[in-house]
Structure 1
């Protein structure tokens, strides 16, 4: 095999495909945000961020309820069982959409009496957005369950790519404002959903294969597993609420700019969580306790070790990074230091996410459910204590480390009961695996180069 073919073959790796798909989404998101920060007033940006945060929470509730559930029950099953699971998931998602529409009827009229613009937009449009995004959401779950991460790449292009293109076009025409931004968001999601329906990636027709027992099976697992998915989103939303109503939309815009760059951590983390869960599930389903824990340690350790140089570079170059994303007007305020705080705390993210996934895999989703409750309470208490003592937006950023530590402790204990392992050994394994990976890749590519000479 030639050197070029070996490079191209690397792109068939599902971890890399997942990383590229989510990385592309991040790039589109950064470009979009950069355009928005340069085109809208700071208060309008705050309203926009608040709107997206709440929509994100609603989407994560649905994703937490169904994504892990679909992957777990669909992966590795027979064709008939897969159709039954997909159909039952479609039925559940349709029921959720109907519930949202019923709730949206009174909230639509209530929105006219609400003074906060961001909250009013949520009360008006949350059901519409939920329905518009449904086909794309289900296609995303199914391509993950099928390990078709090449299709996930196209999903990101259809969705986030079209959104970025529309935002860029409106900004170039000087037509970008809060209203057109909202309509653009809806239109891009509608386009993506239509495309996946045309391409038949949704398995929508399997809804007629749904069975009552399977629906209840998915429901009972999903009601607890949703805690895994919303853990990373819920606290950001809590902070968004507190900043929006206690400090104001302008401060929220600053806070979001510092936090938005955390996608350089979130995207590879999301990619490896997405592709790593089927591996952990496979180990568990085959009774390989040691293998599952080793896979967990390897993924957490490798990601954490890789993050260390990223953190160091971010601490040094925070100002130019913020300048690149938001423009020169945001360099002299709190945004760079907020970014520094967030990036250091991010070293705990891999353990938090993969431990949560691990608890789901060993069939103990209730722990994640209770974990979310305790994390929420600890987050709120830490924030209010911080604001009361320092009355600064920095106190909210520092307080975010408390619930993450709580989450890691609560999920480490049951995983350690399942198969005993030392927490610090995670990072030793991660470093060793990275060294091994480097040596393998070095031998692979350099040996092929010598053969060509």
Structure 2
């Protein structure tokens, strides 16, 4: 019974998170498919830079709040939950206010650096989105800590689908989209998602009426400060190439690189989904079973992710010219060689993502932070040198090299901490296909042929 319950959790949670990530990438990609055709290269480049800034802002708050809240809620007694949620909400409020002040102060500076005057109004309106998304982050983290994912999937689906629906309708009726319109729609989508999310989590989201506990403030912030640094450094590592292209070359160059990145994101769905499922489970297993279970979780999750990702990487690599022309049109032919390089470091991403997930879950957030920070610094330096010497392709090569460096360091640390074997991840990669066939495909074929299972 216990084994069946575990299988049910993994299957249900995995399916929900794959669907969530798939819907996110689908709506984001479908919206991009339209925007890249209706916006000029300059406007699309500005939108890319705007999204880079706002994504980092969300990571600042999410990094300090989300993982810490999930970890302590999933591993603490129920009577402590209200105190933990109260302390987390207090920290979230302080971070939100601080971030809004910084955003309002630095928006004019960013618009000058990137030669994008309209960026100011976009960032000012985004303040409303940021306020609503803060509440949404809290609600989703509480639900994830309780090993439930229905509400997370539905609220994210609503947020993404409503935004995409606006883009699609305006495209079909021939309405000229302005960038600021998109931010106002983001505001409405975030507000709607918050209302729905609260309905799912209201029974578990309980605020303590007593004074915010200093103990929990210290624990959450102590854990979250490194998770925050990791999230921000990781995002900077993933967006610094686009931001530097926008500053050193032009917003249009940033937009061309963003197209390759967006296509690459299509095959990153399994890794995102598996990481969300693994994190609360690894926190519990470390308490109950020790390092051996964590080692298995890492190797198995990486091998499974690679098995799911590899076919997509091969397809996109060999048919990249057709994919780029179909998705972005003839004016973005310069994205084809960029895609070839970004696909190569796609094979390293599962190792890095699960490295952070596992180490965070066992309390080694400082180690994760230092590794990601070091990789980001390497990426920053290489981008500056390579972009100056090679141009747009330099950003792709710089990110590839920095990912290889981060991968090597992470494997050394994992081997020392929990005895992870790189070879085992490859074994699980090749075992996945026959196991999947035996467990899921073969029974279906037998039933269709009228044979007993």
Residue 4 of structure 1 is matched in structure 2 by none
Give 2:404's aligned residue. Answer: 405
Partners of 2:123 and 2:23 lie apart in 1 by: 31
Name the SS for the 1:176 alignment partner.
coil
Aligned pairs for 1:156-235 (under 5 A) are 156-173=156-173, 174-201=175-202, 205-206=206-207, 208=209, 210-235=212-237
Paired residues of 1:51 and 1:118 also in contact (CA < 8 A)? no
Contact 1:111 1:124 in 2 (8 A): no
Structure 2 Cα separation of the partners of residues 294 and 149 of structure 1: 23
CA distance in 1, matches of 2:361, 2:312: 30
Report the CA distance between 1:336 and its aligned residue.
1.9
Distance 2:222 2:72 in 1: 12
1:196-232 Cα offsets, whole Å, 9 max, x none, are: 2355559665264642211210000000112443454
Corresponding residue for residue 94 of structure 2: 95
* Aligned-pair Cα RMSD in Å: 2.6
Unaligned runs of 5+ in 2: 1-7
| Change in CA separation of 1:368 and 1:452 when aligned onto 2, cut-off 3 Å | closer
Query: Judging changes above 3 Å, is the alpha-carbon distance between structure 1 residues 415 and 381 closer, same or farther for their aligned structure 2 residues?
Result: same
Change (3 A) 1:27 1:109: closer
Q: Spell out the pairing of 1:100-119 with structure 2 (5 A cutoff).
A: 100-104=99-103, 106-107=105-106, 115-117=115-117, 119=119
Q: Cα distance 1:414–1:123, how it changes in 2: closer, same or farther (>3 A)?
A: same
Moved more, 73-82 or 259-268: 73-82
Aligned equivalents of 1:111, 1:339: Cα separation in 2: 27
**TM-score under structure 2 length normalisation:** 0.90
Deviations 1:58-109 (A, max 9, x none): 1112112222111111115332222222222111111111222343454467
The equivalent residue for 2:40 is: 41
Q: Are residues 198 and 286 of structure 1, via their aligned partners in 2, closer, same or farther at CA, if it must alter by over 3 Å? A: closer
1:265 matched to 2:267? The reply is: yes
Q: Distance in 2 between matches of 1:419 and 1:111?
A: 43
Unaligned runs of 5+ in 1: 1-8
Tell me the equivalent position of 1:274: 276
Report if the CA contact (8 A) 2:387-2:395 is conserved.
Answer: yes
Inter-partner Cα distance in structure 2 for 1:116 and 1:270: 32
Which is further off, 225-234 or 352-361? 225-234
Is the 8 Å Cα contact of residues 143 and 201 (structure 2) preserved in structure 1? no
- What is residue 246 of structure 2 aligned with on the other side? 244
Counterpart-to-counterpart distance in 2, 1:163 and 1:179: 13
Look up the match of 1:6: none
Contact 2:300 / 2:428 at 8 angstroms: preserved in 1? yes
Shift of 1:410: 2.9
Q: 1:202 and 1:116, CA in 2 relative to 1: closer, same or farther beyond 3 A?
A: farther
Structure 2 contact 359–365 (Cα < 8 Å) conserved? yes
Deviates more, 1:194-203 or 1:106-115: 106-115
Q: CA deviation at 1:149?
A: 1.7
Query: How many residues matched?
Result: 442
* d(CA) in 1 for partners of 2:433, 2:67: 28
Instruction: Give, in whole Å, the separation in 2 of the partners of 1:121 and 1:290.
Output: 52
How far the C-alpha of 1:191 sits from its partner, in A, is 2.1
Q: Deviations over 1:293-322 (max 9, x none)?
A: 011101111211332221111112112222
* Larger CA deviation: 250-259 vs 187-196: 187-196
Partner residue of 1:347? 347
> TM-score, normalization: structure 1?
0.90
1:97–1:127 contact (8 Å) kept in structure 2:
no
How far apart are the structure 1 equivalents of 2:377 and 2:228?
Answer: 18
Looking at structure 1, the residues matched to 9 and 238 of structure 2 have their Cα atoms a distance apart, in angstroms, of: 35
Question: Residues 12 and 420 from structure 1, CA distance in 2 versus in 1: closer, same or farther, beyond 3 angstroms?
Answer: closer
| Match 2:302 to one of 295, 300, 303 | 300
Aligned-residue offset at 1:447: 4.4
2:4 is matched with: none
Check whether the contact 2:50–2:122 (CA below 8 A) recurs between aligned residues.
yes
Structure 1 position 360 matched with structure 2 position 360: yes
The 1:251–1:201 alpha-carbon spacing in structure 2 relative to 1, beyond 3 Å, is: farther
Give the corresponding residue for 1:82: 81
Distance in 2 of aligned mates of 1:285 and 1:383? 41
Contact kept, 8 Å, 2:82 with 2:206, in 1: the verdict is no
Please say if residues 66 and 222 of structure 1, whose CA atoms lie closer than 8 Å, have aligned partners that are also in contact.
Answer: yes
The 1:108–1:341 alpha-carbon spacing in structure 2 relative to 1, beyond 3 Å, is closer
